[in-house]
Amino acid sequence: MRILNTAASGVRAQQTALDTLGNNISNINTPGFKGQRVDFAEALASQLRPEDREFREEPVGSALNLGVGVMYQNISTNFRQGNVQATESPLDLAIDGEGFFPVRLENGESAYTRAGNFQLDAQGKLVNSNGHILEVRIPTEATDIYADPTGRIYGYLEGEERIFGQIILPEEETENFPGGPLTLDELGRPLGENGELFNVAFVVPEGAEEVHISSDGLLRASIDGEQVTLGQINLVYFTNPGGLRRSGENLYLAPNAEGVTGEELVGTPGSQVQGQELGTLRSHSLEMSNVDLSQAMTELIQVQRAYQLNSRMITNGDQMWSMANSLRR
């Protein structure tokens, strides 16, 4: 009986929707979380009668098709802006608009996040709540990029000299580091003369006070009573963010397949890159989950009801199947 397979497909589809809604609701207070939605489609129809045939010597043009259930086509992410909540930490950052924070994973791979709950680790590096370093990205428009013997990276952007970050060197190499010109890879990360990808971070020296991050991403601090610029936080924008892959810990990964996420653009907060305006930064703030709790609860009731009805169809179909079998006896 087709009803059993049809109803079973409905149960499976609604279970996927329940799992997705449950994940959305459980992350209602997760900074930077983006809700998901399940997209359904009718399963491949079963053809009961082919088209262009004769019935009682009369031509019948249209086919007779019967649906055989439902399937889920896609689980998409809603990248709509979440509400911004004030905090007491100057290192908490919310992106007001488009863009992602780039962070460096332990394996050297780049990941992207909207969660701006940053802090300083034991070495003074700016890291997220999972210890991933906030990655230094340099806009491709920057020129004359170089590192001084201390590892600090300088360059010119819009006619002004900027400090972009600090190269993190092993202790045994610190004294012998000569500095020199740097180039950028396709993602705006600095490379040495030998093509080596440096481990670069935003570092706040010990004893620094009044750490402040401006709306355009400049990281400043007061050192010995003097305001010093320590780096420039830049944002990354994808023309097709729907192609990003969720990897947990509020992180997204860009697939290796070319074109899946569209073009990857790097720029200073509040600037325009190839016609796309990037968001600005709000210090002492966190972007919270964009899940609408009232809407999620309404959808949860609807999905639960659909799950119950499909389960009942299975029970009824099983009873009808048992009745049909008993007739044969």
Residue 57: what pLDDT?
Answer: 56
Residue 214 has pLDDT above 90, yes or no: yes
Burial of 318 (0-12, 13-18, 19+ CB in 10 A): middle
CB 92 within 8 A of CB 285: yes
Residue 50 has pLDDT above 80, yes or no: no
> Hey, is 124 helix, strand or coil?
coil
171 & 255 share domain: yes
91 & 135 share domain: yes
| pLDDT tens-digit readout, 268-285 | 999 999 999 999 999 999
| pLDDT tens-digit readout, 64-99 | 667 778 887 889 999 999 999 999 999 999 999 999
Residues 7, 9, 10, 11, Cα dihedral to 10° = 90
192 & 320 share domain: no
194 & 74 share domain: no
CB 314 within 8 A of CB 69: no
pTM for this entry: 0.82
CA-CA distance, 243 to 255, in Å (whole number)?
A: 8
271 & 127 share domain: yes
233 & 100 share domain: yes
- Under the banding of pLDDT at 50, 70 and 90, the label for residue 171 is low
CB 13 within 8 A of CB 71: yes
231 & 158 share domain: yes
Residue 120: what pLDDT?
Answer: 93
94 & 229 share domain: yes
CA-CA distance, 33 to 116, in Å (whole number)?
A: 11
6 & 152 share domain: no
CA-CA distance, 126 to 168, in Å (whole number)?
A: 12
Residue 177 has pLDDT above 60, yes or no: yes
Q: How many CB atoms lie within 10 A of CB 128?
A: 22
Residue 172 has pLDDT above 80, yes or no: no
Residue 151: what pLDDT?
Answer: 87
156 & 177 share domain: yes
* Helices H / strands E in the chain, number of each: 3, 31
- Under the banding of pLDDT at 50, 70 and 90, the label for residue 21 is very high
Total domains present in the chain: 2
70 & 126 share domain: no
What is the domain range of residue 179? 84-287
Angle between helices 2-26 and 293-328 (to 10 degrees): 160
- Under the banding of pLDDT at 50, 70 and 90, the label for residue 234 is very high
Residue 259: what pLDDT?
Answer: 74
150 & 24 share domain: no
